[in-house]
Structure 1
Amino acid sequence: MNLNNFENYIEKKILSRGYDYYENNYVTSVEETEENVFEAEVEGTELYTVEVELDDQANIIDTFCDCPYDMDDYCKHQVAAFLAVRDMKNNLSKGNNQISQNSRDSESVLKSPVPKKEKRLISKKYYLTEPKMNWLKFCWISLQNMKKSSGELN
């Protein structure tokens, strides 16, 4: 099963629920802990951890979720994590400093975007949704304004 076609191997009901979790921003973070090994946190009844290990061709060679679901090989949290990892890898391979198209669109809303250096750090470690990226930008702007008012920043 490959990260680019895993949808063909997962039961439709689980796939649909996983898509809903992904689209509704229940994937709170994705971190590449080792090369091609990812750990995602997915909100559900509790906060669940999903591990995904890929080979160099993006085949899913191992995956685990710590939720109690045991009716099939894969759960909705894993589907949401697969989608987030795929999105992260696709954006990084394109050389984007941002996580998604939505985060690019949000820059036009906020006039002071997060500097590219910080975006690169974020994109390597975490999956950020548009609302989270906006919150990060708000915090960055607030910090800059506080520094300006205290004289730390010219």
Structure 2
Amino acid sequence: MIDKGLIKELLGSKIYSRALDYYRRGLVEEFFNNQGDGEVNAVVRGSRGNFYHVEIYFDKKEEIIDAYCDCPYPDFCKHIGAVLLKYIELKKENNQDKRKNFFNGVNERAKPFNYNVILELKDKGEADHPIFQNIIF
């Protein structure tokens, strides 16, 4: 599974630092990820105003199978790195949204419970469980 440590390992410290700068400056201008097919396509603005097309292919375990950028750099470049960092960010946001939706659903389902039952669970220490985090006592 892809993470910042792996990206840094693939790029090396110097190129990773440049990729991080590109990512933070928002130079990944177009980003397409068809979830399920393991492919990410993006357009990254280069340092001289050029635009570079990046393609990254993942297997089902989210390990990189192949990556391509049409810039002149021969290996994993800063453009690929910036796209990978964007991919991680969007994946994290997506997971947070899923968790938020789950807990909002739990809160809605918990409303019909008898208040005394909820208080009893709280007194037993059950309310410390994350499933109760959106319920106001």
Give the TM-score range, shorter chain: 0.5 to 0.7
Identity %: 32
- How many angstroms does 1:57 deviate by? 1.7
- How many angstroms does 1:6 deviate by? 2.2
| Aligned ranges 1:71-110 → 2 under 5 Å | 73-95=75-97
Structure 1 unaligned spans of 5+:
97-154
Asked if structure 1 preserves the Cα contact closer than 8 Å seen for 2:7 and 2:16, the reply is no
TM-score, normalised by the number of residues in structure 1: 0.55
Q: Which residue of 2 aligns with 1:22?
A: 23
In 1, Cα distance between the equivalents of 2:44 and 2:30? Answer: 7
| Aligned ranges 1:3-152 → 2 under 5 Å | 3-4=2-3, 5-33=6-34, 35-44=37-46, 45=48, 46-70=50-74, 73-95=75-97
Structure 1 runs of 4+ off > 3 angstroms? none
- Does the residue aligned with 2:61 lie in a helix, a strand or coil? coil
In 2, Cα distance between the equivalents of 1:29 and 1:86? Answer: 15
Structure number, greater radius of gyration: 2
In 2, Cα distance between the equivalents of 1:54 and 1:94? Answer: 22
- Does the residue aligned with 1:42 lie in a helix, a strand or coil? strand
In 2, Cα distance between the equivalents of 1:93 and 1:51? Answer: 23
For 1:10, the aligned partner's letter is: L
- Does the residue aligned with 1:95 lie in a helix, a strand or coil? helix
CA deviations over 1:103-132 (Å, ceiling 9, x no partner): xxxxxxxxxxxxxxxxxxxxxxxxxxxxxx
- How many angstroms does 1:93 deviate by? 2.7
- Does the residue aligned with 2:53 lie in a helix, a strand or coil? strand
Q: How many residues align?
A: 93
Structure 2 unaligned spans of 5+:
99-137
Cα RMSD (Å) = 1.6
TM-score, normalised by the number of residues in structure 2: 0.62
